[in-house]
Amino acid sequence: MNKPPNETGLTLKDRMESFCREVLDKGILFPEAMDQFERCFIAEVLRRNNGNIVRTAAVLGIHRNTLSKKLRAWRA
């Protein structure tokens, strides 16, 4: 699953390892890092599906009610 290098010459694995080092250096704990990753990931899938929750949930492999619940909680 490690794709070939991108325009920076780094593989996804290289970029993820660098990102993890940066997060740890900033003192960000695992739960906060995972929360932010989840929000970012879901937001990007939503954008790619033009805000369609049913398609987004299918791409994410979660039930649409689970996705809706997460979105409501983030808006609160």
Report all structural domains of the chain as residue ranges with CATH numbers, in order of start. Answer: 12-75 (1.10.10.60)
d(CA 55, CA 10) in angstroms, rounded, equals 31
Residue 21: CB partners within 8 Å, gap ≥ 6?
Answer: none
Tokens of 36: 């932010």
Given a contact cutoff of 8 angstroms between Cβ atoms, the answer to whether 63 and 73 are in contact is no
65 pLDDT higher than 90: yes
pTM: 0.80
Given a contact cutoff of 8 angstroms between Cβ atoms, the answer to whether 2 and 12 are in contact is yes
Average pLDDT, the chain: 92
Q: Which residue matches tokens 């704990």?
A: 29
Summarised one tens digit per residue, pLDDT across range 18-50 is: 999 999 999 999 999 999 999 999 999 999 999
